[in-house]
Amino acid sequence: MNEEKLIALIDYWIEHNREHEQEFRDWADRAASSSGEAAQRLQEAAARMAEASECLEKSRQAIARAQGEG
């Protein structure tokens, strides 16, 4: 496995997710006045995007630990 490439991809994915997470939150704020349910679902999507980023970060850490072991 090419660990350096995977780490670079994970870093990119985390940043990309954070951008989407913020967009979802921004649109949730905009939607709140016309559709509380839509705003709630967008906030939920943002939270799940943050969870995905946490999983990616843990994957990155696991790779770093494995490199230290090898």
pLDDT tens sequence across 40-66: 999 999 999 999 999 999 999 999 999
What average pLDDT does the segment 1-27 reach? 96
What average pLDDT does the segment 2-23 reach? 97
Q: What is the 3-state secondary structure (H, E, C) of the chain?
A: CCHHHHHHHHHHHHHHHHHHHHHHHHHHHHHCCCCHHHHHHHHHHHHHHHHHHHHHHHHHHHHHHHHHHC
Prediction pTM value: 0.86
